Amino acid sequence: MVEVRAQRASRPRRLRVIGFGMGPQHVTPEAAAAIASVDYLVAFAKGERDDPLLAVRAEVARQYGDPPVVVVPDPPRDRADPADYAAAVRDWHDARVAALRAVLEERPGDVGILVWGDPSLYDSTLRLVDGLDGALGLEVDVVPGISAPQLLAARHRIVLHEVGAPVHVTTGRRLREAVEAGQDNLVVMLNSGLDLDGLEDWSIWWGANLGAAGEALVAGRVGDVLVDVLAARDAAKAEAGWVMDLFLLRAP
């Protein structure tokens, strides 16, 4: 133990951003080693009630080294479709950076942040880390995780793109914009709802809570299966207490 502490003292303090997919079953050996290597993990919790998403991260920590999880209340965010969406997100990020910095200044040692899916795709953690000032002396590294589009493709046993063709990854908020721009093969994430009017002849491969409680899959022509998708989405949320869904949408 003395030797380990001496080794840590001889290098910069480490902050590890660790992708873990959708739960303990998706933790790679590299991610498992990273979790076990830190002195504690930081996790943002949403709302004042029990956060089921926090419970998943706590279980990941328990199974892989059991470092303590320091819970930080997630600052409030304007989610009522503000006129300046980018500014609302920046304000939220700034508040999260301040909350994260406060924890790091109070608690010494190497720290890890668990990220759903993979840190490279529709996650703000690396932006938060970039917002920390250099006075903390952190050495940052990133451990990749299994992403939601990978899981969607695996569950439906599909390739996300046609032969030699691209796939466009976007959010539910920007789906209409992408379709109007001529995109005809899209992976759509971060859905607050499903607005597919006028796309009835398109094909959809949809999934929710992949690899977690409430997992559901629906595929087919949009006009034929949209009712099933909406019902499955509601059922997934009722079972797990939360829903993360995405889909591949392809023009006829």
CATH number at residue 32: 3.40.1010.10
Q: By residue range, what is the domain housing residue 20? A: 2-143
> What was the pLDDT predicted at 76?
78
Answer with the one of 117, 143, 169 that is the final residue of a domain: 143
How many domains in the chain?
2
Residues 7 and 20 in one domain: yes
Is 134 in the same domain as 89?
yes
**Residue 225: other Cβ atoms inside 10 A:** 17
**Would you state the structure tokens that stand for residue 136, as one six-digit string?**
């903390």
Q: What is the DSSP letter of 64?
A: T
* Judgement on whether residues 178 and 83 belong to the same structural domain of the protein: no
Which CATH number fits the domain that encloses residue 229?
Answer: 3.30.950.10
Where b means 16+ CB within 10 Å and e means fewer, 178-214 reads bbeeebebbbbbebeebebeebeebbbbbbbbbbbeb
User: pTM of the prediction?
Assistant: 0.88
Residue 70 to residues 13, 67, 90, 110: CA-CA distances in angstroms?
17, 10, 24, 13
Phi, psi of 204, deg, nearest 5: -130, 140
Do 152 and 238 lie in one domain? The reply is: yes
pLDDT at 51: 80
Q: Are 126 and 153 members of one domain?
A: no
Question: Which residues, other chains included, contact 217 with Cβ-Cβ below 8 Å and sequence gap of 6+?
Answer: 155, 156, 206, 207, 232
Per-residue pLDDT of the chain (252 residues; tens, 9 = 90+): 445 444 555 678 999 999 999 999 999 999 999 999 999 999 998 765 568 889 999 999 999 999 999 999 888 776 666 667 778 888 888 999 999 999 999 999 999 999 999 999 999 999 999 999 777 899 999 999 999 999 999 999 999 999 999 999 999 999 999 999 999 999 999 998 899 999 999 999 999 999 988 999 999 999 999 999 999 999 999 999 899 999 999 999
Distance from C-alpha of 240 to C-alpha of 213, rounded to nearest angstrom: 5
Q: Do 7 and 106 fall into the same domain?
A: yes
58 and 105 housed in the same domain: yes
3-state SS, 145-186, equals: CCCHHHHHHHHHCCCCCCCCCCCEEEEHHHHHHHHHCCCCEE
Would you call 52 helix, strand, or coil by DSSP? helix
